[in-house]
Amino acid sequence: QQALEIYTKVYGKEHERIGQVLNYQGMLAMKLGQLDQAEAYFGRAAEIFKKSNNGREFYAHQLSNMAEVYRKKGNYVRAEELLQEALSRLVSSVPDSRYTGIAQTRMANSLIGQKRYRDAEQHALAGYQTLEKLGPAAVELEDARQALVAVYTDLQQPEKLKMYLRR
């Protein structure tokens, strides 16, 4: 909160650095299970990045972050809507970015939440492949692997399941 106050005094309310601080606060709130606060932080950050000339990728990432909040609240349909917009922006501008891989995996998890496993498969694979290119240290790669395990378990595809159980 202090960082936000200081940055606001230095840069003003609409600067990208304010959006970055709000994003960090949203991530922390989400980790602490404070989902309403996280949603508010991500929403405000999205407003800032949407107006910014340099923030298009960050705007899409904020949509993805808000979608994750909705998914955690059990609102899978709203999460899917936000992720559709985020992915349309990310795939067209930065298809191989970390943010794109994260959004693809989040889309898979939102579809899994709706028990739409066949639809989830393509997003889980795309997320896994995108994140795998970034290296095995990508924390989000484990989320993508788990989504694939859930998909192939439900679809009863043991050969594909084996590929992701061993990684």
What's the pLDDT tens digit per position in 89-130?
Answer: 999 999 999 999 999 999 999 999 999 999 999 999 999 999
Q: Which of 35, 81, 86 is nearest to 58 (CA)?
A: 86
Which is higher by pLDDT, 6 or 113? Answer: 113
Query: What pLDDT score does 148 carry?
Result: 97
Looking at the predicted structure, is the pLDDT value of residue 137 above 70? no
Query: What pLDDT score does 132 carry?
Result: 93
Mean pLDDT of 23-30: 96
> 30 is written with which tokens?
């989400």
Q: Which of 126, 115, 125 is nearest to 87 (CA)?
A: 126
Looking at the predicted structure, is the pLDDT value of residue 61 above 90? yes
Per-residue burial over 4-13, b = 16 or more CB atoms within 10 Å of its CB, e = otherwise: beebeeeeee
Neighbours of 40 (CB within 10 A): 17
Query: What pLDDT score does 167 carry?
Result: 58
Give the percent of the chain with pLDDT over 70.
Answer: 97
Query: What pLDDT score does 150 carry?
Result: 97
Q: Is the pTM of this model over 0.75?
A: yes
Nearest-angstrom CA–CA distance, 79 and 135: 27
